[in-house]
């Protein structure tokens, strides 16, 4: 278990410092194998952008090839947004075994089915929580279907390899959706939220809580009620909650809700205890729920401005069309995960969350905290955390703070659209907050975006060097970039992803790493040399400062005390 107190400490958390220091030893060994001599290990960060399943599969390809080429062992930080977080978290649940990870990917996409009953069980169970939101539904009913997996492990389970330094330190990005107005107006740094195997919190505030207590209830900086640590399935849903715009997401959710009442009998038996005559027991309460929502609750409106409860109406119509054989299932073991009342409560809560469009609800661990001056942060009882891609579709803001001392950033962009939009957005963010970041003229970015190459090296007078790798590029795709983008559209459902679709994408991502290995090694070598000379200059400045200080102190003592 982690600390039961809120930590407000500028700079890195103690656990991260120790883990990164241990990682340095492994990085130095890896650099030596790559024929790069270094006294000090440069800090290299690999970033993965969002992009749904496309990003998930491509990021796996990048990690796999970096491991194959000996490059991943020289990386200190791995950070991701949205679909890339699914790939990065999989690296740790497989203990860094890329062969096992690829075998698992092939297994998942060689079959079309997913375990609907188990996903529904998890969703119904989550609906018992006071902080249930659409993120729970999205995680267990949509993302689990997209990725065809339902991991039950936790972020804290990743501590061992991270603390031993055998794997890079992972950072998973989200944003505080309640601060979206501040982000739109001023690109507020406080908007960004991060998760690691040790902590969760706001890096701009230096405010964190132990990852094992994320979701628990705090007041005035103290733990007042413990909740179980959220599993990776939920967190993946939170990190990847923006596969599309609101309309696309709404359709995903409502499609799942519409289909719930046409489930096969075996799914009902695995999900609901004592399911006999379930049709007669559910239909009337659902009808009352529809009437209640129409009468009392705020509603989503369709394009014509009319209340939109079509999905619930269709649920009821589907149910009336379902055969008696499906509706009236035999009794099932009462020790099953849910009950009829649990199911109804789940539908009710999901309906209310959909009507309010409520996502990512969790207890605010900064509630009533006296050490936080900003009342916007400490007055709210709840946070609403969502996909960081709604701000910037790659996690630059989490690795750019000087406390992480990153020298080289490998930015893998899995966007289907303009692969330089993340560079534009990050440039604007850094300009507003005076953060060193390579500046590229807008005209040059426009030119690059028309026919992107596989690698761009961006350098500024200060700050880290950025290597930017567009997934779909002319070097690998030739003139067919648009065709590749259409094939791997962000909004494309998992049903269309077969092995024949997955393999080319995986191969493309690997090729982008392999073909740019020499460039990556060159920049790693430059970073190692720069880090060495920077430390030499600091040491030299320190000696000069001490010498000057001693001389000035000596002169002062003579003047004041007559000491010679």
Domain's final residue, options 358, 392, 419: 358
Question: Is the pLDDT at 234 greater than 80, yes or no?
Answer: yes
Question: Is the pLDDT at 301 greater than 50, yes or no?
Answer: no
Q: Are 78 and 225 in a shared domain? A: yes
**Cα of 142 vs its chain's centroid, Å:** 16
Determine, yes or no, domain membership for 314: no
DSSP for 288-323, please give it.
Answer: HHHHHHHHHS---B-TTS-B--HHHHHHHHHHHHS-
**Residue 70, Cβ density class (10 Å: 0-12 exposed, 13-18 middle, ≥19 buried):** middle
Active site positions, annotated: 82, 387
Q: Per the structure, how many domains does the chain have?
A: 2
Q: What span, in angstroms and rounded, lies between the C-alpha atoms of 22 and 17?
A: 9
Question: Is the pLDDT at 551 greater than 60, yes or no?
Answer: no
Q: Are 258 and 388 in a shared domain? A: no
Determine, yes or no, domain membership for 202: yes
Q: What span, in angstroms and rounded, lies between the C-alpha atoms of 282 and 289?
A: 10
Question: Is the pLDDT at 548 greater than 50, yes or no?
Answer: no
Q: What span, in angstroms and rounded, lies between the C-alpha atoms of 308 and 293?
A: 11
Best mean pLDDT range from 32-46, 494-508, 535-549? 32-46
Question: Is the pLDDT at 306 greater than 50, yes or no?
Answer: no
Which pLDDT value is given to residue 266?
A: 56
Q: What span, in angstroms and rounded, lies between the C-alpha atoms of 199 and 17?
A: 13
Best mean pLDDT range from 40-49, 349-358, 374-383? 40-49
End-to-end CA gap in the chain = 59
Which pLDDT value is given to residue 324?
A: 39
Determine, yes or no, domain membership for 298: no
Our CA dihedral for 107, 110, 111, 114, rounded to 10 degrees, sits at: 50
pLDDT band at 558 (very low <50, low <70, confident <90, very high): very low
Which pLDDT value is given to residue 28?
A: 97
Which pLDDT value is given to residue 329?
A: 43
pLDDT digits (tens, 9 = 90+) for 473-507: 999 999 999 999 999 987 776 677 889 999 999 99
pLDDT band at 291 (very low <50, low <70, confident <90, very high): low
Residue 50: CATH number of its domain: 3.40.1090.10
Q: Are 404 and 425 in a shared domain? A: yes
pLDDT band at 532 (very low <50, low <70, confident <90, very high): low
Question: Is the pLDDT at 1 greater than 60, yes or no?
Answer: no
Q: 207 has which bridge partners?
A: 8, 202
Q: What span, in angstroms and rounded, lies between the C-alpha atoms of 246 and 464?
A: 35
Least confident of 190-204, 277-291, 393-407, 523-537: 277-291
Residue 470's SS3 state is strand
Q: Angle at which helices 421-433 and 442-450 pack, to 10 degrees? A: 160
State the DSSP H helix or E strand holding residue 456, giving kind and residue range, or none if neither: strand 456-458
Average pLDDT over residues 143-162: 93
Q: Are 408 and 490 in a shared domain? A: yes
Which pLDDT value is given to residue 48?
A: 98
Question: Is the pLDDT at 265 greater than 70, yes or no?
Answer: no
**For the chain, percent of residues with pLDDT exceeding 90:** 64
Determine, yes or no, domain membership for 142: yes
Q: Are 503 and 487 in a shared domain? A: yes
Question: Is the pLDDT at 243 greater than 90, yes or no?
Answer: no
Question: Is the pLDDT at 360 greater than 70, yes or no?
Answer: yes
State the DSSP H helix or E strand holding residue 353, giving kind and residue range, or none if neither: helix 340-356
Determine, yes or no, domain membership for 328: no
| Closest C-alpha among 464, 483, 481, 463 to residue 472 | 481
Average pLDDT over residues 500-527: 97
Given a contact cutoff of 8 angstroms between Cβ atoms, the answer to whether 493 and 146 are in contact is yes
Which pLDDT value is given to residue 511?
A: 98
**For the chain, percent of residues with pLDDT exceeding 70:** 78
Q: Are 391 and 489 in a shared domain? A: yes
Q: What span, in angstroms and rounded, lies between the C-alpha atoms of 87 and 59?
A: 6
Q: What span, in angstroms and rounded, lies between the C-alpha atoms of 104 and 86?
A: 13
Q: Are 264 and 217 in a shared domain? A: no
pLDDT digits (tens, 9 = 90+) for 165-222: 999 999 999 999 999 999 999 999 999 999 999 999 999 999 999 999 999 999 999 9
Best mean pLDDT range from 112-121, 123-132, 348-357, 484-493? 123-132
Range of the domain at 124: 114-147+243-268+336-358
Q: Are 188 and 251 in a shared domain? A: no
pLDDT digits (tens, 9 = 90+) for 439-477: 999 999 999 999 999 999 999 999 999 999 999 999 999
Q: Are 349 and 472 in a shared domain? A: no
Question: Is the pLDDT at 135 greater than 70, yes or no?
Answer: yes
Q: What span, in angstroms and rounded, lies between the C-alpha atoms of 491 and 65?
A: 26
Average pLDDT over residues 368-394: 93
Which pLDDT value is given to residue 111?
A: 78
pLDDT band at 533 (very low <50, low <70, confident <90, very high): low
Q: What span, in angstroms and rounded, lies between the C-alpha atoms of 550 and 147?
A: 64
Determine, yes or no, domain membership for 330: no
**3-state secondary structure labels for all residues of 77-135:** EEEECCHHHHHHHHHHHCCCCHHHHHHHHHHHHCCCCCCHHHHHHHHHHHCCCCCCCHH
Determine, yes or no, domain membership for 497: yes
Mean pLDDT of the chain, nearest integer: 84
**Residue 482, Cβ density class (10 Å: 0-12 exposed, 13-18 middle, ≥19 buried):** exposed
pLDDT band at 257 (very low <50, low <70, confident <90, very high): confident
Determine, yes or no, domain membership for 107: yes
Which pLDDT value is given to residue 254?
A: 77
Q: Are 207 and 260 in a shared domain? A: no
Which pLDDT value is given to residue 563?
A: 36
Which pLDDT value is given to residue 5?
A: 84
Higher pLDDT, 93 or 493: 93
Which pLDDT value is given to residue 559?
A: 36
Q: Locate 62 and state its tokens.
A: 């990048």
Least confident of 85-94, 123-132, 162-171, 341-350: 341-350
Q: Are 379 and 354 in a shared domain? A: no
Q: What counts of helices (H) and strands (E) characterise the chain? A: 24, 14
3-state SS of the chain: helix, strand, coil percent to 5? 55, 10, 35
Q: Are 133 and 262 in a shared domain? A: yes
Least confident of 267-281, 316-330, 512-526, 549-563: 549-563
Q: What span, in angstroms and rounded, lies between the C-alpha atoms of 488 and 492?
A: 7
């Amino acid at each position: 278990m982690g600390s039961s107190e809120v930590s407000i400490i500028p700079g890195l958390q103690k656990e991260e410092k120790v883990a990164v220091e241990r990682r340095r030893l492994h990085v130095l060994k890896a650099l030596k194998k790559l024929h790069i001599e270094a006294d000090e290990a440069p800090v290299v960060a690999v970033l993965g952008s969002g992009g749904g399943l496309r990003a998930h599969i491509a990021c796996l390809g990048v990690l796999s090839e970096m491991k194959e080429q000996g490059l991943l062992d020289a990386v200190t930080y791995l950070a991701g947004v949205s679909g890339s977080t699914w790939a990065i978290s999989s690296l740790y649940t497989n203990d860094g075994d890329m062969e096992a990870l690829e075998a698992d990917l092939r297994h998942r996409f060689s079959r079309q089915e997913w375990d609907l009953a188990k996903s529904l069980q998890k969703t119904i169970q989550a609906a018992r929580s006071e902080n249930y939101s659409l993120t729970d539904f999205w995680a267990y009913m949509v993302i689990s279907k997209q990725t065809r997996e339902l991991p039950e492990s936790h972020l804290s389970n990743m501590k061992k390899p991270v603390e031993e330094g055998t794997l890079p330190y992972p950072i998973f990005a989200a944003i505080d959706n309640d601060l979206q107005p501040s982000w739109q107006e001023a690109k507020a740094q406080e908007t960004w939220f991060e998760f690691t195997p040790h902590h969760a919190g706001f890096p701009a505030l230096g405010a964190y809580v132990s990852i094992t207590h994320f979701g628990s209830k705090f007041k005035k900086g103290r733990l007042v009620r413990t909740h179980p640590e959220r599993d990776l399935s939920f967190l993946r849903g939170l990190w990847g909650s923006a596969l599309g715009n609101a309309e696309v997401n709404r359709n995903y959710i409502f499609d799942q809700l519409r289909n719930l009442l046409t489930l096969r009998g075996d799914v009902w038996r695995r999900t609901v205890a004592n399911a006999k005559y379930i049709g007669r027991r559910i239909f009337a309460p659902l009808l009352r729920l529809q009437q209640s929502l129409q009468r009392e609750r705020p509603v989503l409106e369709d394009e014509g401005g009319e209340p939109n409860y079509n999905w619930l109406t269709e649920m009821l119509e589907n149910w009336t069309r379902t055969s008696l054989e499906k509706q009236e299932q035999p009794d099932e073991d009462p020790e099953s995960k849910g009950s009829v009342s649990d199911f109804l409560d789940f539908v009710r809560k999901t309906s209310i969350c959909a009507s309010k469009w409520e996502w990512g609800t969790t207890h605010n661990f900064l509630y009533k905290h006296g050490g936080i001056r900003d009342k916007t942060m400490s007055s709210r009882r709840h946070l609403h955390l969502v996909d960081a891609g709604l701000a910037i579709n790659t996690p630059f803001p989490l690795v750019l703070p000087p406390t992480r001392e990153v020298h080289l950033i490998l930015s893998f962009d899995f966007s289907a659209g303009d692969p330089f939009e993340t560079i534009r957005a990050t440039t604007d963010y850094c300009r507003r907050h005076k953060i060193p970041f390579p500046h590229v003229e807008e005209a040059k970015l426009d030119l690059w975006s028309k026919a992107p190459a596989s690698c761009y090296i961006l350098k500024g007078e200060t700050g880290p060097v950025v290597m930017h790798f567009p997934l779909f590029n002319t070097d690998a795709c030739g003139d067919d970039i648009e065709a590749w983008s259409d094939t791997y559209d962000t909004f494309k459902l998992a049903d269309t992803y077969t092995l024949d679709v997955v393999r080319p994408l995986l191969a493309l991502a690997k090729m982008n790493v392999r073909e740019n290995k020499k460039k990556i090694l060159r920049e790693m070598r430059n970073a190692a040399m720069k880090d060495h000379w920077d430390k030499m200059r600091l040491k030299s400045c320190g000696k000069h400062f001490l010498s000057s200080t001693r001389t000035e102190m000596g002169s002062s003592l003579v003047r004041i005390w007559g000491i010679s």
